[in-house]
Structure 1
């Protein structure tokens, strides 16, 4: 039985701007994606037929709504290969957290099947398949630091912003991405300064990046969930250079240039937000 083990890395958004709603119902976005060290582990084994999914987190649906299932099905459709797969998912990335955990899992499955089935598909070909599964999947296949445009499928590699220390706080609340998009005020003057963030990344200037991180979705989410604003303020109070909600939330990340401050902040926020999840990570 062939087996492959893959790490499936999450992401944060160093900037996220929603420009307008497209005629196809999707939203045109500009976002700067950054892969982080927080990961799930996927163990994939070939079986004769069908798909068998297992996960250590019982909250994760294991049916056809799971992006891992959809990735396997889409690869079957695209290649005509009718082989089965058994996948064990060890989740460490919180579910529905704005960290692209599901999309990263789907990306790992596409890569894994490419190896197990000997397909020799290029990264570009995998990304073309990935966009049919979810908007973040192409980026999760590419990884690193990237500007994503369109609905997330137009990717431009940026100079790496790796090895930066971050603190992640997920308050353990539910946020509906559909609802967030539906309540966005797209004519607002708040915009992400893409060029300034990219320039700061290229200079490896973490202070300047932290000063310019922007997420236009924050306002909508914080109106219903003021805890997001509270976490951001706490992070900055305890030493973060800047803090931002990732994606459509609810996870907030803080950028640090001092590990002692980060560890102290983690200690305080772990106690304060005991119903949530507080994690250290690095950009990769």
Structure 2
């Protein structure tokens, strides 16, 4: 039986790639955040009810994949109420509606739920401790989803880039056109993740849970391997045919931001592969593929 997907945040970076990667024999409804505001509980209830009934009447297995989020990390430091509404209250509303209509829910979260002071890749079971308002609101959203509906799953990811929306790859490509050199932070470590690879992985997980399987309820999915922002930027320059030595390393202290960034936010994907899911490709290979296929910038 084919999948039916409801993708809140369907016009964002990840949402659009979920639509693009979805099987042709499935059914996809991907409303924008304006079309389906997760903070509007009655609207969420109605949307999930209609989606579930329509999918089942047509012979599909319904799954909700929540790609909606407040992702303006620095703005969240002063816009906490809105960030909390979108990242915590909204997912809670969605989980409640999914429970009422017995629809599995996949909720996308972030490496920012961890303190960022680790020395080895974070496992899903490791202690959280976000340092930013954004991270705290995303962790609150995780808790609400998991405590509300026992057929909900949280998938944490990190350093996502893709064709749509603003992201680091696009920023580097744009700045390369107007700057002889760039200074990029070299003391923050993470795993770049192509949104199309993440979307493909989420669809595989959606198929797994739609057929009644029960993988661990918190999973990590990122590009394999790790690098620094400076290393990432130099790789981008290389793929664009530019001189990577134009990118100079600097420290976090030299580039202060309103929201603190994790110094180390590599996520272990062992839980993902142990669940029988296909690992996302190495971050460097993914970047090469993304730029070669004009997916970004």
- TM-score (normalised: structure 1): 0.30
More helix by percentage: 2
TM-score by length of structure 2 reads 0.29
**Between Structure 1 and Structure 2, which shows a larger proportion of strand residues?**
1
